[in-house]
Every structure is written in structure tokens, then in C-alpha cells.
Amino acid sequence: LVLAFLAGGCQTPARDFEQVSSQEKVILKFSHVVGDNTPKGRAARRWAQLVQERSRGRVEIQVFPNSTLYKDGEELAAVQKGYVQIIAPATSKLTEFSPVWQLLDLPFYYEDIDAVHRLLDGPVGEKLKQSLFARNLLVLAYWDNGFKVMAANRPLVKVSDFRDLNFRIMNSPMLAKQFRRLGANPVAMAFSDVYSALEKGQVEGSENPPSNLYSKKFYQLQKYITLSNHGYVGYAVVVNKSQWEALDQKIRQLLLDTLQEVTIWERQEAFKQNLEDLERIRRAQGTKIIELTPEQRKEWQRILMPLREELAQEIGEDWF
Ligand code: LMR
């Protein structure tokens, strides 16, 4: 199928998509904040590769990893203004636009990754997308990272172990509440600033799936990791809505078809890579890995599970 991107077939104002050649080539900039060799980084490159191949080079997704184009705190505004066409922020960061995205930050709420997918791939996932329309943002897909573990420079076993620890969090009210309930001090910070903050002792702990702790080498600055799997990190693949709607229909279909394939692949790879990266951290032997007993886990859950009621009060029971 030769996709004919004829001049004029794409009504998008020139400023948004650079038309590089007479063949009306469309270039889409994809900015994200993690390394290339992470579930999100690999999926972004795979999507770009498939699109390049299937459009015979007429549509190009240029991927800018590691906050090289925009960092946390910049990328949402950048995609809203059309300076970049695609981002894939952790859903926690979308709480900046609507409190309903805190749903995905609830600790000990999702039994397993399938429970998360049932929510995201069902009516609630659609309602979440609608919450961003007024911001001129459109969610095209939901990608996974995985469940978070707790990393710190003291062993975190009992809830009292969190007392007064400065903990880096993504910018989300739910994550701040989570750590305050545990007796810690939440410090919201861009992902690109975490390594140096750990190095300088500005924060003493962080939560993330193993793939992020490994890819950014945070584990080298954290003596202990508790395999809490207390919360989920996943991504919304977000585009500038008006730019998207101005794209030639054939281009949109190509992007969506390839993205659907990549999403299936990404979710499988994210699950695998988090297990592999945890093993790599274990083999590095610089970080003690702690498993919680059922009783220890229950103490954390007793403290954190009431956050579900608090959120229902804030956003309405009909979201649950
Ligand atoms: C973070 O802690 O900010 C990361 O989870 C971000 C990401 O994109 O994985």
C-alpha cells in the first residue's frame, strides 16, 4: 500500500510539521525522559522504525530520549504548544491537568498488571482520555513500565523505617499523600534530576520499577531495595490534539495501526525487562534486596489502602 501524501493532503500548518521534501514528508518529534534501553525508550524506537518502513520514509518519528529535548515540567507545555508532537509521560504527571489521573497512583490497589490493563483498556481508560481533551491533548495508547519498588539508604521493612526520610516522587498529589502517610517527606522532582539529588543526599529514597532504577543507575546510590510492588508506573502516549486531527487520515491510520502493534509488544517487553533488570541489580551485589513478609506487607497496606476512599471523596465514586 503506497501511502500518497500529496501536497495539500495534509492540512497541517507548516510550523507544526516540518515538510522536509517535495514528497510532503511529515516529521513528528517524540520527546521522553527515560533512557533508550527501557521499555518506553525501546517502544518509541520500534514505533519509529515501523512507521519509517511502512510509510516508505514519508513519515518520520524523531525520538529524543533522556530529557534531551524536554524534561519533566517542560514536556506537557511543549506538546500543548506543538513544539513537540508526541510525549509519553508517566500517568502520575498528568495529575497536573486533572486529579482523576491519581487513580493510577493508588498504592496496593491493583492486584496485578492485568487489573491495570482492564482499567486502562476499558471505559475508565476512555474517560481518562476525555479529561485531557480540553487541554488539547489526545491519548493514543497506554504503555506499561511496571510495579514500583522502594529504594533507600536504610532498610525499609516496617512503616516506622520511613520516618523523616526525604523521598523523591513524581509530581502527583497521591504520591505525596502516600509518603506522608508513611511518615516520610515527599520531594517532587524531575526524573532527570534524581541521580544528582541522590548523590548529594538531597533525597534518600525513591520509588520506581526496577527498569528505571537500573537504566539510570539509581541502584548504585541506594543500599536497599524493598520489593514492595506497591504501585504502578505506566505511560500515556500523548499527542497535540489539533495537530493530530489536522494530519492526513492515511498518516493517522498508519500511526495508529503501528502503535497498536507496538503497544502489545511493549507491555510484554516491559514485564520481562523489569524482571531482568532486577536480576542485574541483584547480581551487581551493591544493593541489598529485601522481601516483605505477609505481615510486614499488611502493615504498609493498612496505612496506605485508605487512600482509595480519600480519592473517591475527591473525584467521585463513579470512577471506581
Ligand atoms: C519517573 O520516576 O519520573 C519515571 O517513572 C518517569 C518515566 O518516564 O518512567
Distance 185 CA to ligand 1 centre (A): 19
pTM of the full predicted structure?
0.92
From atom 4 of ligand 1, which residue's Cα is the shortest distance away?
191
* Cα separation values, 246 from 9, 13, 295, 304, Å: 10, 8, 55, 44
pLDDT at 2: 34
Distance 39 CA to ligand 1 centre (A): 11
Q: How far apart are CA 40 and CA 33, in angstroms?
A: 9
ipTM (interface predicted TM):
0.96
pLDDT in tens, 270-306: 999 999 999 999 999 999 999 999 999 999 999 999 9
Around ligand 1, the residues with Cβ closer than 6 Å are 33-34, 40, 90, 145, 170, 191, 208, 212, 233
* Residue 23: pLDDT band with limits 50, 70, 90: low
pLDDT in tens, 117-156: 999 999 999 999 999 999 999 999 999 999 999 999 999 9
Q: Across residues 222-251, what is the average pLDDT?
A: 96
- Alpha helices, DSSP H, located in the chain: 39-54, 75-81, 113-120, 123-130, 173-181, 194-200, 210-215, 241-246, 249-284, 294-304, 307-315
